[in-house]
Amino acid sequence: MTAVQSGFPALVARLGLAAVFAAVLLFNPPLCVAETVLDTTASGADDIDVQVFYATNRKRDANKPADEAYGGERGKPSFGHCRVQFKPIPFMDEVVEYIPFYVPSETNRIRVAEQRDPEAFWKDVTAAVGDTESGSVVVFVHGYNYGFDRTCRMAAELQRSLAGKATVLMFSWPSNAGPAEYVRDQADMEWSVPFLADLLAQLGERFGPERIQLLPHSLGSRGAVFALLRLGADLSARPVIGRLVLLAPDFDAQTFVAMLPRLAPLTLGITLYASSKDAPLKVSRQLSGYPRLGEGGEFLTIAEPMESIDVSGSGRYQILGHEYFYYHPLVRSDLVELLTTGKGAAERSGLRAQMRNGEVFWEIRRPSGD
């Protein structure tokens, strides 16, 4: 009998079957998103507050609450930090241990979204970077259908996972946060490229290019790639950043491979995370007619010097399978090891090598017995 078989019935006996599955349905609905909003501002002894820096070119409405102040309209560049409170849900830690898909064990909400003038912002970032072990900055670029609040919550969770070893700076471009706004989001992402390129250049000047890690997700990968190519045209020194880590990139795979000879010299390394269970990228392939860079399985892109990691075998874990870097503990663990140690795929403990047509790619190593 496995731990799941022995532990879950005991948990059901303690909490009651209806209570357990009500909690599962409540916090993991069919269209589960990355956050659960907390209605109370009361803080408990077990609550955790996490600060994360942001740079955005969303239009700000000072008359709205902090978590709604930045909408989907284009605006002027602004800087600041979010403070997100994570609050444990009673008994859920015991539930998630025995359920093979994502169930949150805590709620989270934005407590503060404070705008800072550029001078104060850079002073704050410099101090935070100086307090980390690596002295590196991880620039998180969100994808399509993300509001500012959702990006804050996801970036704060990433900051917490890094455990003081690096500083997260989220770049929040003016996504309209609407499922039907893909074309408009794509236009806004491309409009944001000059600002993102300038931000990366400033970070490189302040902390050294080798200490800047660029972490774009989904449609954000388009802006990240175009920003790097823009920097490559403007800056003569190489590289312009340390590492580029592509998370489920919504990018034409053939186009990316054609760009790779120009892109690779601009970084110290490129890592791709891809999955065949990524439902949004399947839709994107159907609409475009060609495989997306973030697709795994038969569509996995393997091209030197990029390291390709196919997480398909790890399971969907979350209904859409597009944010596995956030939801799946094994994938997140490997990502954190990459960002905090800089180790290549061959050196990271959670991966195993596979071969396809004489080319090496990597898979997540599942625990024995799974």
Q: How far is CA 174 from CA 57, 149, 293, in A?
A: 7, 12, 23
pLDDT value of position 94: 56
22 residue type, one letter: A
Q: Could you read off the pLDDT of 207-239 as tens digits, one per residue?
A: 999 999 999 999 999 999 999 999 999 988 899
- Give the Cα separation of 320 and 143 in Å (integer): 14
Q: Could you read off the pLDDT of 96-139 as tens digits, one per residue?
A: 554 555 555 556 677 667 888 999 999 999 999 999 999 999 99
For the chain, the first-to-last Cα distance in angstroms comes to 13
Q: How far is CA 37 from CA 40, 203, 213, 323, 325, in A?
A: 9, 32, 29, 18, 21
Say yes or no to pLDDT of 293 above 90: yes
How many angstroms separate the most distant Cα atoms in the chain? 66
- Give the Cα separation of 245 and 251 in Å (integer): 14
pTM: 0.84
Asked whether 54 and 169 are in contact (CB, 8 A), the reply is yes
Q: Could you read off the pLDDT of 310-320 as tens digits, one per residue?
A: 999 886 667 78
Say yes or no to pLDDT of 20 above 50: no
Asked whether 56 and 148 are in contact (CB, 8 A), the reply is yes
Q: Environment class of residue 144 by beta-carbon count within 10 Å: exposed (0-12), middle (13-18) or buried (19+)?
A: buried
Percent of the chain with pLDDT over 70: 79
Q: How confident is the model at residue 92 (pLDDT cuts 50, 70, 90)?
A: low
- CATH architecture of the domain with residue range 32-364: 3-Layer(aba) Sandwich (3.40)
Taking each helix axis from N to C terminus, what angle separates 220-234 and 182-191, rounded to the nearest 10 degrees? 20
Average pLDDT over the chain reads 84
Q: Environment class of residue 145 by beta-carbon count within 10 Å: exposed (0-12), middle (13-18) or buried (19+)?
A: buried
